[in-house]
Structure 1
Amino acid sequence: MNDHETFDLGDFTLRHGATLRGSWLAYKTYGTLSADRDNAIVYPTWYSGRHWDNEWLIGRGMALDPDHHFIIVPNMLGNGLSSSPSNTAPPYDRARFPHVTMEDNVAAQYRLVTERFGIERLRLVTGWSMGAGQTYQWAVSHPDMVERIAPFCGSARTSPHNIVFLEGVKAALTADAAFAGGWYETLPVTGLRAMARVYAGWGFSQAFYWDHLYRRMGYTSLEDFLVGFWEGFFLDDRDPNNLLTMLWTWQNADVGRTSGFGGDTVAALASIKARALIMPAEKDLYFPPEDERWTAQHIPGCELRVIPGVWGHFAGGGANPEDTAFINAALHDLLNS
């Protein structure tokens, strides 16, 4: 967990007015920045993910090849490595950590990219799930800087149905008496396990469960998968207040709320100048392809490729080699365009 660097944001004022004093952004880089600073790619993390969780899509011979590209993986605010409820001093610690928007995350990443590395153009911004949301935000916030975007299994605006799903996740976590309104003295394990059980019905498709594909992941039964994968996922050093901070960011994501657009999502999408390749997954229950078709029609020259198969949202998580090959091939095409 210490194989990363930090960028000092100092007193960082968030969109909703709170100032995080002495804040920072954790990040890791892969590859070498060229002399002309023209080979940079930004690949943000996702809900509860950390930089090492993105490494499945980085490697020699892959589209995100560190022998050719300088890949920056910034950790989201609230993920436990960058400034978060779990590592911030009072008065903004724990349950008092302020609301963070997608625009805030990209503003912090922009400072990292420009101030630390002197980068003026990005060859590509890409990401899965909430990383896709940050990808869209980059293209709207900095249209003249971003050359290409490839958001996969994510959205430019969180749908009402997605908000409802997240309300169920949040309710399961906070119902544990040990949660104590976010001021817990011991980890609310019952709430985290309940959250995992709610999440399990959404992360993979109905067909994934029907075909018992969790066996390919090394789990011997449905219950083994629910405990070993899902409960294990949320009990793996994931702080509840951190999870709720990122959940708020997700629920309130909408590029239309970017400064200057007054809530007009269509106008924000139309402002994107980057060459865009959107990849929803065929059976994603969070971000179904029909939602992203709506998005694609409002981005000039956008291409949409649907990731086929039954792995649902986790088609974008690196768990299935066929899905990884599809995403990697699409990134190759985009980078070579």
Structure 2
Amino acid sequence: MKDYDIYELGDVVLQSQKTLRNCQLAYKTYGKLNEAKDNVIIYPTWYSGQHYENEWLIGPGMALDPEEYFIIIPNMLGNGLSTSPSNTAAPYNASRFPNITAYDNVRVQHRLVTEKFGITKIKLVTGWSMGALQTYHWGCLYPDMVERILPFQGSAKCSRHNFVFLEGAKAALQADAAFKDGWYGDTKPDKGLRAFGRVYAGWGFSQTFYRQKLDIDTMGYASLEDFLVGFWEGLFLERDPNNLLTMLWTWQNGDISNNDVFKGDLKAALGAIKAKAVVMPASTDLYFPPEDNVLEVECMPNAELRVVDTVWGHFAGGPGTSPADIKVLDEALRELLAS
């Protein structure tokens, strides 16, 4: 059974100057919108993730408490629930699906929030990884609407190093002959998806994580190979390849200044964020090292950098893998919401 709702957006013209016809935004809400409509939290999804894979940070007694807040999780375009290559009819199906930017995503999310719910103030926007990219977009595009942001393990612009990592993962997937340039039909390129997962495996967790054998001693896998197959290959075998490539392009081209508002001026875009901000990189994140966020926070007028000291790398932030790091994040969210 479907556990989410669909907002019908009609025809959406993208930054690419292509049109998503009958565009649909999948979303799920938690809690109730109060009468003043001022208890709203936006919590976007991450690369390849869907709303249920965000739920580890929501619950009674946690900072994101549905008994107190109205929490909206919008699913990214391309993630298989919102309009995506896997659910779009010809001619924009499969590998013909248009390029989607984070700006496109946040623009349609804003329509959901304002048109569907009549919300004019957002207490907090937060998100992990590509969810953090969307969080930055919310802050700079709607500065008078967003009161607080907490992006964790993500950045306002994809770095060149991050771009190169993604090129390797993409190449591994596309090298499978069964990929057929994206026209694989019902026969997915499993070899390519497994290779994609193995490329990811060297980046998602830190060198210290592997040195300490936390995949075995903490996560319960029997061996390194068991971890590579059971965790990493398994994670991506569940995904649609064209959906993965659509979101990968979104990630690689992530840049909060790449729009008509800021015209490529990243410092101006960061400076436009009025929200009280706590930016939380992980000390050992190989995708989004703290150095990137240091440069961003210097340009933000009301921001604080808090580096999470962890060996869990990028997965300090999700999806609920490291309990100690979840506690640190939850406490930061609670403090920010109370401020």
TM-score interval, smaller chain: over 0.9
Counterpart contact for 1:205–1:310, Cα < 8 Å: yes
What corresponds to 2:10 in structure 1? 10
Partner of 1:165: 165
In the alignment, the residues of structure 2 paired with residue 260 and residue 64 of structure 1 have an alpha-carbon distance, to the nearest angstrom, of 31
1:159-190 deviations in Å (ceiling 9; x for gaps): 00000000000000000000000001310000
Tell me the equivalent position of 2:66: 66
Aligned partner of 2:142 in structure 1 is 142
Give the one of 220, 237, 252 matched to 1:235: 237
| 2:247 counterpart residue number | 246
User: SS at 2:67's partner residue?
Assistant: coil
SS state at 2:108 partner: helix
2:127 corresponding residue in structure 1: 127
Any stretches of 5+ residues in structure 1 without a counterpart? Answer: none
Residue identity (%): 64
Whether the 8 Å CA contact 1:133–1:151 is kept in 2: the answer is: yes
* 1:198 match: 199
C-alpha displacement at 1:258, in angstroms?
A: 2.7
Any conservation in 1 of the 2:283–2:307 contact (CA below 8 Å)? Answer: yes
Show the counterpart of 1:311.
312
1:309 Cα deviation (Å)? Answer: 1.2
Between the two proteins, the alignment pairs up a number of residues equal to: 336
- For 1:119, what is the secondary structure of its paired residue? coil
Cα displacement (A) at 1:16: 1.2
The 1-side partners of 2:256 and 2:28 are apart by: 26
The equivalent residue for 2:188 is 187
TM-score, length-scaled by structure 2: 0.98
Partner of 2:289: 288
9-18 or 71-80: which moved more?
9-18
Partner SS for 1:112? helix
Distance of 2:2 and 2:294 partners within structure 1: 40
Residue 192 of structure 1 aligns to a residue in which SS? helix
Residues 37, 119 of structure 1: 8 Å contact kept: yes
Q: Is the 8 A contact 1:58 1:65 kept in 2?
A: yes
Counterpart-to-counterpart distance in 2, 1:179 and 1:97: 15
Query: Which one-letter code corresponds to 1:147 in the other structure?
Result: E
Q: CA deviation at 1:141?
A: 1.0
User: Structure 1 residue 301: deviation in Å?
Assistant: 2.1
* Letter in structure 2 aligned against 1:264: D
CA contact (8 A) 1:141 1:258 kept: no
**C-alpha distance in 2, partners of 1:262/1:228?**
44
Cα root mean square deviation, aligned: 0.7
TM-score by length of 1: 0.99
Output the CA distance in 1 between the equivalents of 2:113 and 2:220: 39
Residues of 1 paired with 2:79 and 2:126: CA distance? Answer: 18
